[in-house]
Amino acid sequence: MVEVDVLKNWGSETELRKKWVKKWERLGVRILKFPKWMQTIILEDVNCAIQNRIATMEMILISMKKRVPKEEKRDGEVTG
């Protein structure tokens, strides 16, 4: 039987997207209550925080990929 990877996590991704949209909508409503100059500061702060978080997570992933241990056979011989 052929497994279709394209739709494998489609439902969970859709739910996650809905959560993201709701969070940003709620934040947007609150942010829009501020004067424009404060909105600009908040936008810059949020952008900086998100960029830094993404960069950190990317570095963690790269580090984790480099540290993947070599698989060991049952008799202890290392393959790789």
Q: 2 pLDDT exceeds 70?
A: no
pLDDT recorded at residue 11: 73
Over range 38-65, report the average pLDDT: 96
Res. 22: pLDDT tops 70: yes
Q: Which two tokens stand for residue 18?
A: 């809905």
What pLDDT score does 4 carry? 59
Distances in Å between the Cα of 15 and the Cα atoms of 8, 9, 10, 25, 64 are 14, 10, 9, 15, 27
Mean pLDDT of the chain: 84
Residue 76 has pLDDT above 80, yes or no: no
Query: Does the pLDDT at position 28 exceed 70?
Result: yes
Cα distances (Å, whole numbers) of residue 73 to 48, 69, 78, 80: 46, 12, 6, 10
